[in-house]
Structure 1
Amino acid sequence: MTDLDRALADIVAIRSQLTRGTAFSGYGPAAFAATAGLALATATAQTLLLAEPDAQPLAFFGGWIVAACGAVGLIGAEMRARARRHTGGLGNAMIHDAVEQFLPAGASGALLALVLARVAPESLWLLPGLWQVLVSLGIFAGIRVMPRGVALVGAWYLLAGLTVLVVTSEARSLSPWSMGLPFAIGQGLMALVIRAAPEADHAEG
């Protein structure tokens, strides 16, 4: 390895350390508040349109997958715009790092749904609670570069997921509100935490 190669490798390593050690200011409260509303809207629509969610699991989970994609789009768009304005040249690297931290939890949730649908469709009622637990793990994975209050959001999703599993264990049935309420409260709480954080205040200025 030449001196130039070593120097370039050192620069990449330093840049990576800066990215991972800097609080990510790309998250904005507006997108998270909008996703809270999206969760409530989805739960309301399914309550009105799906008389028996257990008899229509594809429609039930399809609706929530569409809502999740919409939420990712809203958060991603705001994240890119804010990161470019407030993190300088590290913006793209920090977005990549943020996605990388949450990706294992997201991929696990998708694979878990596929496996349950294939080998144990009678156990699909477990998915809402399990998905919330996985969201909490994704949040805790990225906590070092997020506002300290985000730990409360992670704790909420963990508690909500376990509670949903207990509450739905008797009937073992799907309910739009077992998804809608936990995610609406969790996303709303995330919006409040980010809004109150110093990084958010600086970003708004």
Structure 2
Amino acid sequence: MRDIDQALSDIAGIRAQLASSTRFHGFAPVAVAGSGAFAFLAAVAQTLWPERLASDPSRYVAVWVSVAVASAALIFVEGLARISRMHGTMASMMVAGTARQMVPIGVAGAGITVILYNSVSANLWILPGLWQVLIALIGFTSLTSLPKAIIWPAGWYFACGLVVLDLASRGAPLSPWMMGIPFSLGQAAVAVILHRDAERHNAGF
């Protein structure tokens, strides 16, 4: 029994090592591009109807939280079909490894958002820039499981986040395009990178 247990443990270790060194293909380029389109449309809507969608920081933040939820749902639903198809029996391990990298930062962002949203609205100026910095950190921590080129959109988000934080801290009003430009361009770049990586994977490179 000890030999069998040891063999099973060795197999599990090998599978875990393979999963940690395998490129994650669960993110669909089309879904990621769609999330960028959501961001662009939200910025346009806030620009056209500011009195309804951006008249105060609470409404501004509520719109972008809705965009984030819709984008996450789109990526998740599309990813469910891809994961089993692309990773087969290693799908659960690949998902678990990717979740360990991304979920803690996402939960931290959600928690901070809820706390600030329930506090004085004057504190909400920090959220747009903070969200972008957190997205950047997700990109940087995912370099072991995603294409290395992800470092470029991650750097884009990081730089944009710092710029937005600086502008907002100086009293600049929360503009729809503080979110629309970074996210629409950033997600488009990620989608292109994932698409090219998928093409190389399908071609056997």
Query: Under a length normalisation based on structure 1, what TM-score does the superposition of the two structures give?
Result: 0.88
What is the RMSD of the two structures over their aligned residues, measured on CA atoms? 2.2
1:182-201 superposed matches below 5 A = 182-197=182-197, 199-201=198-200
Instruction: Give structure 1 stretches of 5+ with no counterpart.
Output: none
Contact persistence 1:53–1:60 (CA under 8 A): yes
Q: What residue number does 2:45 align with?
A: 45
Residues 58 and 95 (structure 1), Cα distance of their counterparts in 2 relative to 1, 3 Å cut: same
Match of 2:8 in 1: 8
Deviations 1:44-103 (A, max 9, x none): 112223328675333222221221111112212222222222222112321222222111
Q: How many residues align?
A: 204
Q: SS in structure 1 opposite 2:39?
A: helix
Amino acid at match of 2:183: F
SS of corresponding position for 1:25: coil
Contact kept, 8 Å, 2:135 with 2:154, in 1: the verdict is yes
| 1:9-24 equivalences in 2 (<5 Å) | 9-24=9-24
Which moves more between the two structures, 180-189 or 40-49?
A: 40-49
* CA distance in structure 1 between the aligned counterparts of 2:79 and 2:54, rounded to whole angstroms: 36
Q: Which residue of 1 aligns with 2:141?
A: 141
Distance 2:73 2:143 in 1: 21
Question: CA-to-partner distance for each residue in 1:106-127, whole Å, 9 max, x for gaps?
Answer: 1111121233334553221111
Which is further off, 185-194 or 105-114?
Answer: 105-114
- Distance in structure 1 (CA, Å) of the matches to 2:199 and 2:73: 20
How far does residue 151 in structure 1 lie from its aligned partner after superposition? Answer: 0.6
TM-score (norm 2): 0.88
Over 4 Å off, 4+ runs? 52-55
Q: Secondary structure at the match of 1:144?
A: coil
Paired AA for residue 138 in structure 2: G
Tell me if structure 1 keeps the 8 A contact 2:36–2:188.
yes
- Percent of paired sites with the same residue: 36
Write out aligned runs for 1:79-118 (5 A). Answer: 79-118=79-118
Bigger shift: 55-64 or 94-103?
Answer: 55-64
**1:180 is matched by which residue type in structure 2?**
G
Q: Say yes or no: does 1:176 pair with 2:137.
A: no
Q: Cα deviations across residues 115-140 of structure 1 (Å, max 9, x unaligned)?
A: 33345532211110011001100111
Q: Give the superposition deviation at 1:178.
A: 0.9
Instruction: Kindly state the Cα deviation for residue 174 of structure 1 after the two structures are TM-superposed.
Output: 2.0
Contact 1:132 1:161 in 2 (8 A): yes
- What corresponds to 1:59 in structure 2? 59
CA contact 1:25–1:200 (8 Å) conserved in 2: no
CA shift, 1:31, in A, is 1.0
Return the letter of the residue paired with 1:19. Answer: A
For residues 62 and 2 of structure 1, the distance between their equivalents in structure 2, rounded to whole angstroms, comes to 56
Tell me, in whole angstroms, the C-alpha distance in 1 between the residues paired with 2:149 and 2:115. Answer: 34
Greater CA deviation, 115-124 or 161-170?
A: 115-124
The separation in 2 between residues aligned to 1:91 and 1:72, in whole angstroms, is 19
